[in-house]
Amino acid sequence: MRFRLRFLGKALLVIVGIAVLGWMVMTLWNWVVPALFVGARAIDFAHALGLLILSRILFGGFRGHGGWRGGRQWRRWEQMTPEEREKFQKGMRCGRGRGKPQEDAV
């Protein structure tokens, strides 16, 4: 019961958040764009939601923090010893990636 209540509360919060963001996009568009551009029209709420989704796809992705997940790689780098860092950098310079230079087989 407690889980359902918490889930419903979060779902309601997400829906209200999306509605508020859509309303904000619509209001800002209708306030700024027709004043700046002569041929621009005002948009309705559905178009504002579409514009919000389009901008999210183009600029933010759907993972919450945008494109590249750099935090995980940075934590791994911080946990490496200086010898491991040097080995990793040497492997990257050789073009072998992942910091694992291959031994020269003769």
The pair of structure tokens assigned to 22 is 């859509």
pLDDT tens across the length of the chain (106 residues): 888 899 999 999 999 998 998 999 999 999 998 888 888 889 999 999 888 888 887 887 655 554 445 567 778 888 888 899 898 888 888 765 554 545 554 4
Residue 65: per-residue pLDDT: 53
Tell me how far CA of residue 83 lies from CA of 63, 88, 92, in angstroms.
33, 9, 14
Domain ranges of the chain: 1-60, 75-101
Q: Could you give the CA distance from residue 18 to residue 60 in angstroms, rounded to a whole number?
A: 15
Residue 26: per-residue pLDDT: 92
Contact present, 91 and 98 (Cβ < 8 Å)? yes
